[in-house]
A and B are shown apart, each in its own frame.
Chain A
Amino acid sequence: MAFQILLNFFLAFVWMFLKSSYTPASFFVGYFFGLLIIYVFRRFFDSRFYLVRVNAVAVLFLLFIKELFLANWSVLKLVLRPKLNIKPGIFALPTELKKDWEITVLANLITLTPGTLVVDVSFDNKTLYIHAMDIEDINEAVDSIKNSFEKAIMEVSR
């Protein structure tokens, strides 16, 4: 991916030299043509076309914003309720993510969406221990994290 972005920048600069106009506009035109060429020859590289990954990062960011709003809303409802009727608890989340930064991002996303909080990561990096403010069903909580955040992170790093 890094190679493709570097190549795209390089092509944009070559385009500026060919046109002998060193303006941002000609840089963007060159970048666009470079992007087009790299897209046509995308099977030439070992990794995926890099815009797919850029798109996956954007999807992950939007997902985070959405979850942040929804979770804060649910916490607001819990706080305003006259009777405190919650079941707190700690559960283990087995994760398939391998790299250090993936696990860090997953842990941060879980912590930043209120209601859940990462307490610890096991020594073999395969399990996250999560404190939840209100668990109705452990399997449901595990599934919802797995299907949203873990899937989106995998989409970025694949």
Chain B
Amino acid sequence: MKTNDLILQTVSKVILFLIVLFSLYMFFAGHYHPGGGFVGGLMTSGAIVLMLLAYDIKTVTTILPVDYKKMIAVGLLFAAGTAAGGLLFGVPFLTHAFTYVDLPLLGKTSLHTAVLFDTGVYLVVIGVTMTIIQTIGESE
């Protein structure tokens, strides 16, 4: 049965951005508040799933021409790279460094290399979730 998804599509055009913004908030809140790369990545893929529900797979792949398998690889590279970065400075594997920087707009901010590791987690979670959902959705 073919139905008109006009209302769903229009609403998802706004809600989608709210979900992605909230997932970014979750991602950056991870150090001091509940949140982090895992839940952020899951929520971002939730937003993409909403888009998949409102439209079809073909439209979504034209909107987001992303190869999710490559996304997993890039995420793992991020995680392994930050972990191995410590070796260059003569400290054990997975040692993280942080510093306080005065950024022009944000004021005093602490920059951790743990954020880069979290970015890897974020990308892998999105990649894995979307690969699973798309593979199941495409098979007849």
Contact = CB atoms under 8 A, between A and B. Distances in A.
Nearest to A45: B13
Contact of B17 (A11, A19, A29, A43): A11
Secondary structure dominating the interface of A: helix
Contacts, number: 45
B13 A14 contact: no
Interface string A3-30: 0000100110011001100000100111
* Interface residue tally on A, bucketed by range: 20 to 34
A101 interface: no
Given A25-B105, A29-B106, A44-B13, A11 B21 contact: yes
Contacts of B62: 43
Contacts of A37: 17, 20-21, 24
Nearest to B13: A44
Contacts of B49: none
Given A40-B64, A41-B63, A43-B62, A18 B22 contact: yes
B93 interface: no
Contacts of B105: 25, 28-29
Contacts of B106: 25, 29
A44 B63 contact: yes
B34 interface: no
Interface string B48-79: 00010000000000111000000000000000
Contacts of B51: 44
Given A28-B105, A43-B63, A38 B25 contact: no
A33 interface: yes
A58 B18 CA distance: 30
Interface of A: 7, 10-11, 14-15, 18-19, 25, 28-30, 33-34, 37-38, 40-41, 43-45
